[in-house]
Amino acid sequence: SGAVALIKQANPSLTPREIRSLLMETAGDVNGHLFSKGAGIINVSRALTTNISAEIDGAEKWEFSVPPGYRITAKLEIKNKGPSTTLNLFAENLTTPDSDAEISNSSFSFPSQITLENNYTGYISFSASEDALPGIYGTTLILSDASGQTLRLQIVVTIPFATSKNISGLIDNTGDLIYYQLKLFNASGANISLKWQNSANDLDLYLFAPNGEIVNFSTASSGTTESINLSNAFYDEYWLAVYGYSISTQESYNLSVNFTSGNQISVNPFFMDVNVSKNSLKNISFTIKNDATARSVNVSLKYLSAGSSKVKNGISLAPGGCVIVNASDMNKTRARYLNASFMWNNSSNDIDLFFLYYNGTDWKMSREGFSSQHWNAITGEAYEEIRMIDVLEYLKKYPEIGVGICNNGPGASAGNLTMNFTDIVPWQAASNLTLDLSRSEERQVNITINASGLEPKIYPLKLSVENVSNEILRADVLLRVRYKITTSRGLEYESIQDAINNATEGETIYVYGWAFNENITLNKSVNLLGQEEGAVINADEFNITANGANISSITINGRLIVFANQTRLESVATNETTISSVFGFSMISSRIRCQSANIVNNSSNLVLDDVLFDGCGLIMLNSSNNNLTNLTFLNADGLNVSGCKGNVYENISLVNSSEYAVSIADEFLIKNISVNNLSFDCSGSGIKMNWAVKPSRLPEKYRDLGTYFNASNLSDNSWFEINLSYSPSALAGVNESKLEIMRWNGTDWLPVSTSVNIEKKYANANITNFSTFTLAALDDLPPVITIISPQPATYNTNTIELRCAANENISAWWYSVDGGGPVFFNQNATMTLANGQHVINVWANDTANNTGHASVSLTISVSTGGGGGGSGSGGGSGGFITSAAIVKNATQNLTQEIQKSEAPLPVEQITASSSYIKFENASIHSVVSISGNITGSHRILVYNYSDYKYEPGSDQRIYKYFKIVAEPVISSVKISFYVDKKWLEENGFEKESIKLYKHENDWIPLLTKYLNESNDACFYEASTPSLSDFVIIGTQEGAPKAKVEDNYLILYFAGLLLGLAVVIWALIRQIKKREE
């Protein structure tokens, strides 16, 4: 109140809303989430001295709901009472209150910087991705300038459940409530379930109507599941709450919402954010799908409009007296919402206002309890009001509705009642359709909106589909009528040329995402900035004649002609560009499509940076001392330069250039040019270069690196020096110093005098004889062979897997065992060896016919007797797999079984590609499997014991230990296992009581999910970030919890309801007596 008084004293004309906005926007930031810290700490000094203020859609806070996959737009208005300034705009990432879900700030679209002269009018939009998780998110839009002025605007985004979806969440403390919105666009109901893991925690589930009244709830005292159903939905929006009734430790939960459809017709999309320019026509399209019954429907856009109203003056109320005012004499044909207010003469009397309906016998209060009940003596207001009560369903079911007024005393009062309806009526600015839909028909429909004469503002509309007199469905349409162009002076236009003609020098013109069909002459030094997705200008010619003009984020479908100095283009796309007789021209992050780009007679300081030439090359004539960097040419010629000196060419990329990549008649230096797969630096004079097709095979022993190019001379004095880059990975098995640039003379490949810079990875040569060239490597080194398996060891199996690798590409592999004949194979092979010592030799030829060799010695010792590992938590053998391994390759749908035995098996090398690896272990009587993104070769070791002991609680039992080790490490996988039903029954465990624990400094419970069961076992799945020691634990369920507090609450509310019923009964009797 002190801050308000100071601001009001300094600025007496400010309204209460303006003061509130000023305090909120200039508040200092504090740590914490938006929902807990609010706008921040009041900064009176900043509030008194700031020159700027801002609003989003006319408010200091932007709150909205948008379904996943849709976008919403709002009007951003900024006012400046001080000197011109440059504002930087930034939005933080959006997070839920517990930060368990986040949406990137890249979901917003707004200008990152604004030059603010007087007033700015623009737009901010938010796009929810298809995978956006339902929840309520908060963030702050921050506006700041160099002087330290800072505004903070709060943004609250609700992502609803709009389609069936399962999500996960976290709840921290007892008493926490986490809300979710449900939007029933194409649904008539929903089945909702909540599941969690720790039975020591108790979560509840509540469903609320839009007015906050509880519609349904599930509050079981035991177990880890709650579920509620919603059928024959009364509203098209509800709110769902997960409530932490009793939380001992943070709990993760899974919330599932499955919508049910009882609608005869569905509409897609069910949400639209539509922008319409003033005085224009726009078509919006929907797909309407019918069910199995043919029907005729009317399709229209509807909006909310003031409906029938009535005023009843002089209503007298004795202490304890009540009056019912019937709405029977009001027009209810199109009524959707009821509003009522009562004003009386003495605020010391406490009067309440109720919505009532008549069921044919008695007047009743609605289940939702719509009312306005304040303690008027405390508030000092002799006024009660109820607003926007949805009466559609009441009007369908009951003959009458009305309002009840009750005087709680202490004295008599007299007052006036005002009642009115808000109707939902066809919108006259949109076309209406009548459709005859056949069975199961799906039809695309267009509705035309005529924005002529409409005031620029937001129109919240509903798409209505009606069958005879029954409305079947509505979809939300948020229609915004707006101007196409705004300026930094706060002016608005429909034509770009009109905005230019009326602009002042240096003014900024903001052009929004529409198509403009007009020729443009930019004859003032203004800033022409495309907003949102950018504007498209369809012009025969776009002429720039004023010095110092800036153009950004605009597509020009036509010819751009520049006759002005110091012109800057950024993120601009054009079809054809001519830059003539100017200096200081800049083109940044832009695109020139098709046709041509010409730079003629430019004196200096021309900058092209990050420009894409799509289907056209760049011609430069008599233009010196310029900078051309980060240029890309697609499917066209590249640089054609003549009469130009002192230009800088750097980072030039060409893809599929046609006649030439570069054609330069003068001396030049190009740094980092790439042409298809060529990459090089180049200097020279009078040459034309391009990529080339290989004319002939290279001589034997030379490795082909695939880099071919043509170079031709443009004069008798032409020359060039080239530094041709190479990749070390292409030279595996080759001596880098033996790289050579080679020239094709029409018959043979001849080496050119070449030097190699091994540190910077390029080969250098000076070229004066022109032809086709390539970079090749003399390959005279044998390949290096590595035998991965088997290793020098003793094996207790006769089956041996031979797996090999090489340091370069191999054309042929072969091996021999104990000096036998050669056996050709494809890098991997399976062999059967007898007991005893063996020597395996492996050879391989590389592509240059060099031969490499490797060998390994091993021993086979297979005993005739059986044997097995331990059971339970003991046994195991370090370095051996105590299980059989099955590899299932998902890409080929094949299963390869490796010998199953209860005796220890040697370590196997298992390769899988996005596969499912299963380990069957007879000694622990369970199946353990790993699934996830498992790629490459891994050494998998499974043990039937753990290095760490788990200390079970009095209500817990240990089922089995196991340990999994992978080399290299496998992360983020799912572990599946089963538990014998007999063990569960013997220990008195419920099937949901099983949990998998992982050791990581301490035993940590994993999120374990019960999957299904067979006659003998129950199957489970748990997610783990890494492999380690594991233990399967069963926990006995405790006695059911008694919610004593709930019982007291039920008795309390039952008493209240009984008392209220008696009061209403007495009131109605008094009213009837008076009527009699």
Residues 324-356 have pLDDT tens digits of: 999 999 999 888 889 999 999 888 999 999 999
The pLDDT-based confidence of 753 (bands split at 50, 70, 90) is very high
Range of lowest pLDDT (482-486, 513-517, 795-799, 867-871): 867-871
**85-91 and 135-144 strand pairing:** antiparallel
Query: What integer pLDDT is reported at residue 1066 of this predicted model?
Result: 52
Distances 176 to 223, 242, 272 between C-alpha atoms, Å: 19, 8, 34
Residues 737-752 have pLDDT tens digits of: 889 999 999 999 999 9
Query: What integer pLDDT is reported at residue 1056 of this predicted model?
Result: 52
The pLDDT-based confidence of 793 (bands split at 50, 70, 90) is very high
State yes or no: pLDDT of 896 exceeds 50. no
**Tokens in use for 441?**
């028909």
CATH classification of 165-260, choosing from 3.90.320.10, 3.30.300.130, 2.60.120.380, 3.40.50.2020? Answer: 2.60.120.380
Strand runs labelled E in 953-993:
956-967, 971-980
State yes or no: pLDDT of 323 exceeds 90. yes
State yes or no: pLDDT of 894 exceeds 60. no
- How many angstroms separate the most distant Cα atoms in the chain? 123
Residues 522-543 have pLDDT tens digits of: 999 999 988 876 688 998 899 9
Is the distance from CB of 682 to CB of 670 less than 8 angstroms?
A: yes
Query: What integer pLDDT is reported at residue 604 of this predicted model?
Result: 62
The pLDDT-based confidence of 935 (bands split at 50, 70, 90) is low
Q: What percent of the chain has pLDDT over 70?
A: 87
Query: What integer pLDDT is reported at residue 900 of this predicted model?
Result: 29
Q: Which one-letter DSSP state was computed for residue 934?
A: -
Can you say how many angstroms the Cα of residue 734 is from the centroid of all Cα atoms in its chain? 46
Query: What integer pLDDT is reported at residue 471 of this predicted model?
Result: 65
Query: What integer pLDDT is reported at residue 741 of this predicted model?
Result: 93
Query: What integer pLDDT is reported at residue 936 of this predicted model?
Result: 60
Query: What integer pLDDT is reported at residue 872 of this predicted model?
Result: 33
Query: What integer pLDDT is reported at residue 49 of this predicted model?
Result: 84
Query: What integer pLDDT is reported at residue 252 of this predicted model?
Result: 92
Pick from 346, 354, 340, 344: nearest CA to 314:
344
State yes or no: pLDDT of 1054 exceeds 60. no
Residues 666-682 have pLDDT tens digits of: 889 999 998 887 889 99
State yes or no: pLDDT of 884 exceeds 70. no
Query: What integer pLDDT is reported at residue 480 of this predicted model?
Result: 83
Query: What integer pLDDT is reported at residue 932 of this predicted model?
Result: 65
Domains 165-260 and 317-423 fall in the same CATH topology: yes
Q: What percent of the chain has pLDDT over 90?
A: 30
Q: Which fold has domain 317-423?
A: Jelly Rolls (2.60.120)
Query: What integer pLDDT is reported at residue 1059 of this predicted model?
Result: 55
Q: In this structure, what are the phi and psi dihedrals at residue 470, rounded to the nearest 5 degrees?
A: -100, 130
| 1067/542 Cα distance (integer angstroms) | 78
The pLDDT-based confidence of 1040 (bands split at 50, 70, 90) is very low
The pLDDT mean for the chain works out to: 82
Superfamily of domain 265-302+439-482: Immunoglobulins (2.60.40.10)
The pLDDT-based confidence of 594 (bands split at 50, 70, 90) is low
* CATH code, 785-860: 2.60.40.10
Is the distance from CB of 41 to CB of 30 less than 8 angstroms?
A: yes
The CATH class that applies to domain 880-1035 reads mainly beta
Query: What integer pLDDT is reported at residue 275 of this predicted model?
Result: 83
Domain layout of the chain by residue ranges: 2-137, 165-260, 265-302+439-482, 317-423, 490-564, 569-676, 680-781, 785-860, 880-1035, 1042-1076
* pTM for the predicted model, two decimal places: 0.56
Residues 15-69 have pLDDT tens digits of: 888 888 888 888 888 887 777 778 888 888 888 888 888 999 888 889 999 999 9
Is the distance from CB of 207 to CB of 214 less than 8 angstroms?
A: yes
Query: What integer pLDDT is reported at residue 488 of this predicted model?
Result: 81
Range of lowest pLDDT (92-106, 419-433, 742-756, 878-892): 878-892
Peptide bond before 782: cis, by omega within 30 degrees of 0? Answer: no
Rounded mean pLDDT of 456-476?
77
Residues 122-137 have pLDDT tens digits of: 888 899 999 999 999 9
More confident residue, 977 or 137: 137
Query: What integer pLDDT is reported at residue 853 of this predicted model?
Result: 94
| 631/653 Cα distance (integer angstroms) | 6
